Amino acid sequence: MGIMSQKVIDNEMEALNLGTPDDFTLSGGLPKEVAPADRGDIDALEAAIIEMRRKEAAGEEYSSYTPPVEEATTFYDKDDQDFLEYRAPEEPVVATPSPTIAETQTMPYAPVVDAAMDAKEAASQRRLTPRADFLNTFYVGNSLDAIKDIEGEHGPEGTLVNGNRTYNYGVEQKTLDSLGIDRNDSKFKDSAGVIDDKKVAVAVGDGFHKAIILKMPNWEEMPTEVYNSVFSLAWNVGHAGFTGYSLGTNLNTIAGSDSTEAEKNTAYLLELRTNMLDVVGNTGGKVQRGLANRRGRDYNLAASALGGSNITHYKVTRRFSEEDPTVEIGSTIKYYEGDTEVRSVLTSKTMTTSEQLKSGIKTTVTGATEDVAYVDLTNWEEAIT
C-alpha cells in the first residue's frame, strides 16, 4: 500500500474515531476538501425557500421543486459551518469503490457521546458501537470456548437442568424466550440446517458482555483470561446480578493503574480470590457446594496465566451457634491450593438440605491440576497503591 493511500486511511480512520469529520468523504473515494459556498448559491437557495413557504401557505404544490441539474447546488449550514454538496436525484453521484480503502467502507462512525455522561459510561458507549462488534464477538466467543466444559454437554435437543431446558454452553430456553431469540432462526444454522449452539450462545452473550464492560471500561487492558473468569461468573449468576458486585470495578481500577504487569497480575489474583470465591449462594439464599466448585473453576480460568496456582479443593461446612449448638447460623467455605488453605469465607447462609450430609468434606475442584507454584498473596493489599 502506497504512502499516500495509507495517509488517506489514517485520515479517514481519525475522522471516524473522533466522530467529528471536518471534510466530506464520498464512499469509496478520496476525502473531498470542502469548498466555501458561492454567495449567489446562497441567495438562490434562500429565494427558493421563501417561494416554497409562500406556496405552502397558499396551499399550492411545491414538492416538485428540484434544484437545477446543470451544476451542483451548495447548501450552507450556518450552525456548524460545514458545507455539504447535494445533487438532484436525476443526476446521482456513482462512487467507484477503491480497493486501497475497502476496509474502511463498512466502518461506521464513532458514537455520539452525550456530554452529560460520566467517564465510565462514555467509555462503555464507545465500546458498544458497531465498529467494535468484531472485537466484542471475539471476546464473547473466546469466553464461551473457555467455559464450554464447565457448562457441560446437553446434546442437540438440550436437557432439563433444575426444570429448565438447557442447551450447550449453558443457554437456557427461558433466557432465549426473554430475549426474543429463536434457536431455529436460519442465521444460527449451518449449510446442512444444523443449529450451531455457539452462534446462539454468542447472541445471548452480547448482553452479558455489555453488562461486564459497563463495570470494566478498561477490559481490553486486562489479560483475556481475567475477562474469561469474569464472563464465567456473570454467565452463571446473571448479568443483572453481576453488576451488583464490586469485582468488576476493582479489576477495572487495577487495569487502569500505573503498576507493572507483574504487580497487576498479582493484584488480579487477589481480587478474584477476594470478591469472586464468596459468590456461593443460590437464588433461595442457600449455600451450594456446586457453586463453590464453580467458583473454583472460574478462578482457575485465569490463575495459571497470571502466574498463580489453581484452586484444587473446596470444603463447605455447616456452622452452629457456640451458645446453642443446635442452632445453625451459617456456613464456612474454604478453598485450597493442594494442602494450603488460600481463602475462607464465612456466611450467614446455611447449606441446602440435600447437601448437609457432605458438610466438612474436602472435595476436588472439577478439572483442577496442581502444576503451578503457590503465590503468596499475604499483605499484598498493602503493596498496591
What domain range is 164 assigned to? 111-256
Q: Does residue 347 share a domain with residue 212? A: no
What total of structural domains would you count in the chain? 3
Q: Does residue 158 share a domain with residue 133? A: yes
Boundary of a domain, candidates 221, 241, 256: 256
Boundary of a domain, candidates 237, 256, 275: 256
Is the pLDDT confidence value at 112 over 50? no
Q: Provide the b/e sequence for 157-176 (b: ≥16 CB within 10 Å).
A: ebeeeeeebbbbbbbbeebb
Measure the CA–CA gap between 377 and 221, rounded to whole angstroms.
22
59 vs 27 pLDDT, higher one: 59
Q: Does residue 61 share a domain with residue 42? A: yes
Q: Does residue 115 share a domain with residue 252? A: yes
Q: Does residue 282 share a domain with residue 384? A: yes
Q: Does residue 145 share a domain with residue 233? A: yes
For cell 443526476, name the residue. Answer: 91
Q: Does residue 279 share a domain with residue 207? A: no
Q: Does residue 48 share a domain with residue 175? A: no
Q: Does residue 99 share a domain with residue 182? A: no
14 vs 175 pLDDT, higher one: 175
pLDDT score recorded for residue 58: 63
The residues facing 316 across adjacent strands are 333
pLDDT score recorded for residue 385: 29
Q: Does residue 236 share a domain with residue 123? A: yes
Q: What is the DSSP string of 93-127?
A: ------GGGGGGTT-PPPP---TTS-HHHHHHHHH
Q: Is 59 exposed, middle or buried (0-12, 13-18, 19+ CB in 10 A)?
A: exposed
Q: What is the pLDDT of residues 245-266, one digit of tens each?
A: 999 999 999 999 999 999 999 9
Looking at residues 218-246, what average pLDDT do you find?
92
Q: How confident is the model at residue 241 (pLDDT cuts 50, 70, 90)?
A: confident
- Sign of torsion, CA 53 57 61 63? positive
Q: What is the DSSP string of 27-95?
A: TTSPEEPPPPPPHHHHHHHHHHHHHHHHHHHTT---TT----SSSPEEEE-TTT--EEEE--TTS----
Record the pTM. 0.63
pLDDT score recorded for residue 370: 58
pLDDT score recorded for residue 197: 95
Q: Does residue 135 share a domain with residue 209? A: yes
350 vs 5 pLDDT, higher one: 350
**Rounded alpha-carbon distances, angstroms, from residue 120 to 123, 205, 213, 249, 252:** 5, 21, 9, 10, 10
The answer to whether the beta carbons of residues 188 and 203 sit under 8 Å apart is yes
Q: How confident is the model at residue 23 (pLDDT cuts 50, 70, 90)?
A: very low
Q: How confident is the model at residue 49 (pLDDT cuts 50, 70, 90)?
A: low
Start-to-end CA span in the chain (Å) = 46
Q: Does residue 238 share a domain with residue 217? A: yes
Boundary of a domain, candidates 256, 286, 306: 256
Is the pLDDT confidence value at 89 over 80? no
Q: What is the pLDDT of residues 178-228, one digit of tens each?
A: 999 999 999 999 999 999 999 999 999 999 999 999 999 999 999 999 999
Q: CB within 8 A of 318, min separation 6: which ones? A: 328, 331, 350, 351, 356, 359, 360
